[in-house]
Amino acid sequence: MHALPRPLRSYICDEKLLPIADKVALDERLSFEDGLLLYATKDLNAVGALAHHVRLAKHGLKTYFVASRRLSYTNICYTHCQFCAFQAKPGDPRAYVLSAADIIKDLEKPESTGVRELHMVAGHYPKLKIEYFEDLFRKLKARFPDMHLKVFTMVEMDYYARVSGISMEEFLDRCVAAGLESCPGGGAEIFDEGIREQICIGKKDANVWLKNAELCHAKGIPTNCTMLYGHIENPEHKVDHLLRLRDLQDRSLAHGKSAFLAYIPLAYQNENNELSRTHVIHETSGDGDLREIAVARLLLDNVPHIKAYWVMISAGLAQVGLSYGADDLDGTIIEEEIAHNAGAQTPQGLTKAELARLIRAAGFEPLERDNLYNTYEAEALAIP
Ligand code: V47
């Protein structure tokens, strides 16, 4: 087993962290107060070393990436999230809705060759009903049987079940029968109601997100989870959010047929959206981005994978994040709208070779994966 070469206590400069180091060494669960200390300490390297210890114990040097394609079937959205620069209202010249034929045509382009995961999230548009999704998923599966369909945030599925006039259960069962295989982790934002009222007025409350994730897990649909940070939240809100995810994961692991596969901290991108115009933002920084990865690795002891999402924090920092607890660089992406409309300066996509090179250069072992973390050796795929 991989382990740090020295006792964990020897990495600590801030003595307040010593009890946490002892808990981590004994594989004991951290508390809410421990979480606050991990956010408060100036000893970021110690937080990183503790997270790296856990990462090495869980995954060794293995680091995952996926050949993935992002697509949004519509950008029209009737919900109004103040942090979002992606949404368009009907009549907006930017507004679009894609048909199954449009999406298939896009996926037939050479740049989508070899894609194993189609990750689709989109706006909330009442003209799209369950029949649209059934038809879309069936056609996608008929044309690309090996492409994994990862679709809908927990809030998005709630919206489309309601506008279709059917229960959440029926909506999910019909989507799964048509080809839905897993769900991404977006739409969680921050669970604290006071913050939600300021950043996404009118969006469904945290309990809807959590209830639907639990229902997915009960039905055997794996999902991911996220947290949007770097806006107006404070550490209490973040620890509360992470522990609500951890509690749900405990329940899913005990009673469900599936559970969260990965957690992704999402760094708020502040351009072209209302939130940064109306509120004072606690902007994210390199220190903050690494801390989010490390704290998640330490608090979410029951979620197997932590992603360093290069699209929102840069490829270079995501690479450093691999030594702060992350074991997954997410994917090739190819084209991305949500972060880039909000000012992300990163490339639209990275090739498999670029991802493998970033991972190797940081001292880790790249493994291409599919959505369920079945792996393919980079060597076998001739990735340089
Ligand atoms: O749902 C929206 C968030 C999410 C902004 O599951 C923003 O594997 C930052 O969910 N700044 C979409 N974030 C991204 C997402 C995701 C990303 C990577 C991997 C996975 C996964 C999921 O991004 C949205 C919303 O929560 N978001 N606007 C913004 N301005």
DSSP string, 358-374: HHHHTT-EEEEE-TT--
Could you tell me the fold of the domain covering 65-285+327-381? TIM Barrel (3.20.20)
Give phi and psi for 345, each to the nearest 5. Answer: -100, 5
Place of tokens 């490829």: 315
Separation CA 92–CA 90 (nearest Å): 6
Look at ligand 1, atom 12, and give the residue with the nearest C-alpha: 186
186 alpha carbon to ligand 1 midpoint, in Å? 5
> What pTM was computed for the model?
0.97
Residue 71 near residue 349 (C-beta atoms within 8 A): no
Separation CA 65–CA 366 (nearest Å): 7
Who contacts 1 (Cβ-Cβ below 8 Å, separation ≥6)? 56, 57, 60
Separation CA 278–CA 266 (nearest Å): 20
Q: Which residues lie with the beta carbon below 6 Å from any ligand 1 atom? A: 83-85, 121, 153, 184-187, 189, 224, 226, 228, 264, 266, 268-269, 273, 309, 312, 330, 338-339, 342
Per-residue pLDDT of the chain (384 residues; tens, 9 = 90+): 577 888 999 999 999 999 999 999 999 999 999 999 999 999 999 999 999 999 999 999 999 999 999 999 999 999 989 999 999 998 999 999 999 999 999 999 998 989 999 999 999 999 999 999 999 999 999 999 999 999 999 999 999 999 999 999 999 999 999 999 999 999 999 999 999 999 998 788 899 999 999 999 999 999 999 999 999 999 999 999 999 999 999 999 999 999 999 999 999 999 899 999 999 888 889 999 999 999 999 999 999 999 999 999 999 999 999 999 999 999 999 888 899 999 999 988 999 999 999 999 999 999 999 999 999 876 556 666
Joined tokens for residue 196: 């939600």
Residue 157 near residue 219 (C-beta atoms within 8 A): no
